[in-house]
């Protein structure tokens, strides 16, 4: 009997009784749509474990822990191991699967920082892995023709299929079974597509997995979970809830969805055109008129002389090296890598390195990553590694010098998205950075329009004064212009 001749009759799912799985293994990234959203491409599958006590059922509730903000859903295909196996090949992997069901891999991003990739606290709460309500037998479906969809309050937010998975189901079984025995009943969560986001108390989230092209179009039915507000505060026995804008953006799915995108129109096309024709020195004079004197990033020079810089600050802070802290925070997907992976078009990566030039703070690979994502530039008051290779890139990099050493000689990558001190001044995320051969200034977004307009006007006046001096006029009374010269300038401007 061929697959085409076999009707896939679903069976009710019950994972809470005697058939509770021995282990639940979850995959970090698999769907191309999610990988594109996250901005990083895994070369190999990456996993984490969830306890069986996290299993929930369709129609149940999930509690957003009291004092937390970012409870996020992830609709997924769950594959169920049908027979105990060890060291199977990718081609054999699918044959070891008895069925698939719908899963929702819930997580609290407020606790993510404490997990260091394990996801133990943020994804292992009671009811954080609802499964069901039905199982589609694997025997009559093609693993590359499954579809997973998620609805929030009746509106579809995730809709993808398994045809383009980076790591097919058979490969996951093969990879895991190399080192561990997979037992009948074990469950593998196979990743979520783009569209995962935050749910709030009162929301109803539904996940469905189906095989629309298989005979009978079998479906798991909708796995329904209602979000409720927790009433018992978390206690400081361990890490307490903590969020920043990076976690908000990742939990909601994007900065736009989280309401964190820079104000559209802060750097308008009109202002951009004026700024490109205005010297940083002139802009800084306008800031000083408004009482902002410490607006310069001191001690840095550009590797792209003649190329201007304009964009929004995207910040990264390094702290002084302490070996135990570097061991805990310097490896893996550290703050330095996260900063480069979360760049958006028009960003300027601004690094606080305390003026320490005895090591590199960015090299060619991470500078290229920022360039590929559309960064307008990189600024560090520390050193640049691979300086020649970095200089060959298109992205302008302002630094205090070059050094061949890596981070661990002087720095621990610490924080993305906070206020930093760079070159003797403070920089906040979203501040406007403007640079030319003279240097770089930091402009508060709320002042950009008036500063740019008045600086542009001043630039036009200064250009006119320059021409008068070229023609032989005396500087006294002309620069700055007295009432007589101001009248002459206004008359000239009116004639243009």
Q: How far from 386 is each of 52, 363, 390, 417, CA to CA, in Å?
A: 48, 5, 6, 25
Q: Are residues 313 and 460 in the same domain?
A: no
Q: Are 245 and 238 in contact (CB under 8 A)?
A: no
Higher pLDDT, 489 or 397: 397
Q: Is the pLDDT of residue 261 over 80?
A: no
The reported pLDDT for the residue numbered 483 is 85
Q: Is residue 327 part of a domain?
A: yes
Q: What does the alpha-carbon distance between residue 8 and residue 4 come to, in Å, rounded to a whole number? A: 10
Q: Is residue 175 part of a domain?
A: yes
Counting residues of the chain whose pLDDT is more than 70, the rounded percentage is 97
218-241 burial by CB neighbour count: b if 16+ within 10 A, else e?
bbbbbbbbebeebeeebeeeeeeb
Q: Look up residue 49 and give its two tokens.
A: 């474990």
Q: Is residue 277 part of a domain?
A: no
Q: How far apart are the first and last CA of the chain?
A: 86
Q: Are residues 360 and 458 in the same domain?
A: no
Q: Is the pLDDT of residue 123 over 60?
A: yes
Q: Is residue 263 part of a domain?
A: no
Q: Is the pLDDT of residue 212 over 90?
A: yes
Q: Is residue 38 part of a domain?
A: yes
Q: From the centroid of its chain, how far is CA 484?
A: 56
Averaged pLDDT for residues 90-94: 96
Contacts of 383 (CB under 8 A, 6+ apart): 353, 356, 357, 358, 359, 360, 361, 399, 400, 401, 402, 403, 405
Which own/partner contact pairs does 251-254 have at CB distance under 8 Å and 24+ positions apart?
251/70, 251/72, 251/109, 251/197, 251/198, 252/70, 252/72, 252/197, 252/198, 253/37, 253/194, 253/195, 253/196, 253/197, 254/37
The reported pLDDT for the residue numbered 410 is 93
Sequence ranges of the binding site: 363-366, 385-386
Q: Are residues 48 and 190 in the same domain?
A: yes
Residue 240 DSSP symbol: P
Q: Is residue 235 part of a domain?
A: yes
Q: What does the alpha-carbon distance between residue 454 and residue 275 come to, in Å, rounded to a whole number? A: 11
Q: What is the CATH number of the domain that holds 75?
A: 3.90.850.10
The reported pLDDT for the residue numbered 1 is 28
Higher pLDDT, 168 or 250: 168
Q: Are 432 and 442 in contact (CB under 8 A)?
A: yes
Q: Are residues 383 and 344 in the same domain?
A: yes
pLDDT, tens digit (0-9, with 9 covering 90-100), for 385-412: 999 999 999 999 999 999 999 888 999 9
The reported pLDDT for the residue numbered 262 is 53
The reported pLDDT for the residue numbered 46 is 93
Higher pLDDT, 329 or 50: 50
Tell the residue number behind the tokens 């310097």, with chain if given.
330
Least confident piece of the model among 1-15, 82-96, 349-363, 399-413 = 1-15
pLDDT, tens digit (0-9, with 9 covering 90-100), for 280-293: 999 999 999 999 99
Q: What does the alpha-carbon distance between residue 44 and residue 487 come to, in Å, rounded to a whole number? A: 71
Can you name the residues that pair with 350 across neighbouring β-strands? 315, 379
Phi, psi angle pair for 52, to nearest 5°: -65, -25
- The model carries a pTM of 0.58
Q: Are residues 199 and 240 in the same domain?
A: yes
Averaged pLDDT for residues 481-487: 82
Q: Is residue 481 part of a domain?
A: yes
Q: What is the CATH number of the domain that holds 417?
A: 3.50.30.40
Structurally, the chain folds into a number of domains equal to: 3
Q: Is residue 267 part of a domain?
A: no
Of 98-107, 243-252, 254-263, where does the model show the most confidence?
Answer: 98-107
Q: Are residues 488 and 412 in the same domain?
A: no
Q: What does the alpha-carbon distance between residue 396 and residue 401 come to, in Å, rounded to a whole number? A: 14
The reported pLDDT for the residue numbered 115 is 87
Q: Are 97 and 82 in contact (CB under 8 A)?
A: yes
Contacts of 480 (CB under 8 A, 6+ apart): none
Q: Are residues 439 and 455 in the same domain?
A: no
Q: Which domain holds residue 40?
A: 3-252
Higher pLDDT, 473 or 55: 55
Q: What does the alpha-carbon distance between residue 292 and residue 284 come to, in Å, rounded to a whole number? A: 9
Q: Are residues 437 and 478 in the same domain?
A: no
Q: Are residues 107 and 229 in the same domain?
A: yes
Q: Are residues 461 and 389 in the same domain?
A: no
Q: Are residues 300 and 435 in the same domain?
A: yes
Out of 420, 443, 466, a domain closes at 443
Sequence ranges of the binding site for substrate: 363-366, 385
Q: Are residues 148 and 238 in the same domain?
A: yes
């Amino acid at each position: 009997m061929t697959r085409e001749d076999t009707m896939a009759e679903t069976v009710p799912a019950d994972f809470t009784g005697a058939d509770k799985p021995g282990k639940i293994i979850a995959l970090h990234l698999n769907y191309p749509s999610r990988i594109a959203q996250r901005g990083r491409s895994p070369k190999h599958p990456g996993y984490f474990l969830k306890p069986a006590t996290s299993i929930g059922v369709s129609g149940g509730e999930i509690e957003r822990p009291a004092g937390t903000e970012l409870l996020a859903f992830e609709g997924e295909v769950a594959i169920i191991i049908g027979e105990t196996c060890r060291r199977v090949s990718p081609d054999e992997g699918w044959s070891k699967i008895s069925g698939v069901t719908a899963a929702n891999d819930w997580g609290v991003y407020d606790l993510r920082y404490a997990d260091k990739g394990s996801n133990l606290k943020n994804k292992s709460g009671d009811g954080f892995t609802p499964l069901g309500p039905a199982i589609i037998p694997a025997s009559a479906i093609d693993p590359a023709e499954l579809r997973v969809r998620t609805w929030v309050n009746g509106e579809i937010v995730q809709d993808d299929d398994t045809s383009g998975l980076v790591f097919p189901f058979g490969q996951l079984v093969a990879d895991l079974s190399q080192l561990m025995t997979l037992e009948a009943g074990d469950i593998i969560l196979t990743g979520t597509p783009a569209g995962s986001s935050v749910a709030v108390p009162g929301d109803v989230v539904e996940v469905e997995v189906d095989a629309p092209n298989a005979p009978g179009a079998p479906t798991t039915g909708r796995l329904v979970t209602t979000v409720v507000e927790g009433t018992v505060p978390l206690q400081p026995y361990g890490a307490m809830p903590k969020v920043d804008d990076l976690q908000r953006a990742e939990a909601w799915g994007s900065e736009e969805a989280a309401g964190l995108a820079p104000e559209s129109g802060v750097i308008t096309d009109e202002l951009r055109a004026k700024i490109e024709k205005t010297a940083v020195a002139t802009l800084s004079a306008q800031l000083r008129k408004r009482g902002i004197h410490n607006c310069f990033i001191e001690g840095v020079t550009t590797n792209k002389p003649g190329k201007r810089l304009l964009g929004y600050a995207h910040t990264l802070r390094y702290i002084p090296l302490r070996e135990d802290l570097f061991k805990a925070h310097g490896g893996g997907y550290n703050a330095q890598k996260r900063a480069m992976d979360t760049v958006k078009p028009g960003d300027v990566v601004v690094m606080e390195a305390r003026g320490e030039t005895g090591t590199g703070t960015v090299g060619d690979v991470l500078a290229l990553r920022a360039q590929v994502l559309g960064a307008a530039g990189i600024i560090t008051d520390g050193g640049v590694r691979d300086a020649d290779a970095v200089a060959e890139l298109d992205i302008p990099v302002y630094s205090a010098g070059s050094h061949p050493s890596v981070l661990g000689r002087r720095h621990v990558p610490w924080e993305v998205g906070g206020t930093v001190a760079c070159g003797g001044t403070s920089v906040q995320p979203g501040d406007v950075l403007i640079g030319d051969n003279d240097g770089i200034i930091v402009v508060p977004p709320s002042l950009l329009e008036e500063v740019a307009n008045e600086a542009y006007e001043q630039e036009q006046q200064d250009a006119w004064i320059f021409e008068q001096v070229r023609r032989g006029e005396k500087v006294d009374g002309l620069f700055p212009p007295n009432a007589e010269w101001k009248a002459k300038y206004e008359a000239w401007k009116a004639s243009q």
